[in-house]
Amino acid sequence: MYSLNQLGVISELCQRSEVGKRLPSALYVHVSALPSLDPVLQSYEESAKFARA
């Protein structure tokens, strides 16, 4: 999955995202805006989808 180092990168990308609603510990993005996310965040979201299944 993702290492702690990669999670730091993901956190930074979430904080800098111009798409979605940012909270101190979360980024909410509507499904229609997913293609506008940074490619790393898109990959992370895809991984999360499969982890839930």
Residue 8 above 70 pLDDT?
yes
CA 2 to chain centre: 12
What confidence tens digit (pLDDT) does each residue in 12-27 have? 999 999 999 999 999 9
- Residue 43's CB is within 10 A of a number of other CB atoms, namely 13
Label residue 35 by pLDDT band (50, 70, 90): very high
Residue 3 above 70 pLDDT?
no
Return the pLDDT at 47. 85
Angstrom distance (rounded) from CA 30 to CA 5: 26
Total-model pTM: 0.80
Angstrom distance (rounded) from CA 1 to CA 8: 14
Polymer length in residues for the chain? 53
